[in-house]
Chain A
Amino acid sequence: GAVVSQHPSWVICKSGTSVKIECRSLDFQATTMFWYRQFPKQSLMLMATSNEGSKATYEQGVEKDKFLINHASLTLSTLTVTSAHPEDSSFYICSAREGSSSYNSPLHFGNGTRLTVT
C-alpha cells in the first residue's frame, strides 16, 4: 500500500535553533500534503495545507514565518520550525493525499516526529 515516510521520528534541539522535518510519499505522487500538530491528550490540529509548486495555506493562528513549509516536488514536503522554543515541543504529523486533490482520494499519514526543544 501507499507509504508516507516522515523523518526524523524524533529530534531534540536547543532553543533558538531551527529544525527541518521531511515528509515523503514513497510510491505515489502527492499534490497535496497536510501538516498537523498534536499535543498530549489533544486532537490533531491542522497547521497548514501544502500544495506542490505553490505557497502553503496556513490555518488561523499558525505563524507562517515560524513554520516554513516547502513542497518543491510531488513526493516531498518539508516543515522547518525556525528559532524553536520549548513551547514548540510537540508531535508533528504529515499526511499526503494520493492522486487528485479530492476528499475522496485516500489520505496517508506519516509516523510523526516528536520534537523536544530544550
Chain B
Amino acid sequence: GDSVTQMEGPVTLSEEAFLTINCTYTATGYPSLFWYVQYPGEGLQLLLKATKADDKGSNKGFEATYRKETTSFHLEKGSVQVSDSAVYFCAQHPQGGSEKLVFGKGTKLTVNP
C-alpha cells in the first residue's frame, strides 16, 4: 500500500547548520508530495509541496525536489535558525481516488543557538 518513510529523529543542530530530513515513499502511480511543519503548541501547516516529478517545492528557505527515480522528497535548508525548531512531517496524496493524505511519522528538529 501507499506509505511514507522519513528519517527518525530527534535531530539536533546548531544555528546556521545545514539540514536534511530524508523522506521516501511507496505508491502506485504518481502522488503529490508535501512537507508539513508543526511548531510547538500549534497545528500542522503546509510548508511546501510538489505535484509532479522533478518539481521543486520551496518556502522559507526550505526546499524539496520530487525524485521519481528514487521515490524521494528530501527536505533541505542551507542554514537553519532557532525558529525552525519544530516537527516536520512528510506526506503524500496518492494519485486518484480518495482525498486522504498519508503521513510519515514526523521528525523533531531542535536548533540550538
Interface residues of A (CB under 8 A from B): 4, 6, 32, 34, 36, 41-44, 46, 49, 59, 93, 95, 97, 101-103, 106-112
Name the interface residues of B1-28: CB closer than 8 Å to any CB of A.
4
Q: Shortest Cβ distance from B7 into chain A, in angstroms?
A: 13
Give 24 pairs: A residue, B residue, CB < 8 Å, sorted on A: A4-B43, A34-B99, A34-B101, A41-B105, A43-B89, A43-B103, A43-B104, A43-B105, A44-B89, A44-B103, A46-B100, A46-B101, A49-B99, A93-B43, A95-B44, A101-B99, A102-B99, A103-B99, A107-B46, A109-B36, A109-B45, A111-B41, A111-B42, A112-B43
Contacts of B103 on A, CB cut-off 8 Å? 36, 43-44
Q: Which residue of B lies closest to A111 (CB)?
A: B43
Chain A interface SS verdict (over half): strand
Interface residues of B (CB under 8 A from A): 4, 32, 36, 41-46, 89, 93, 98-101, 103-106
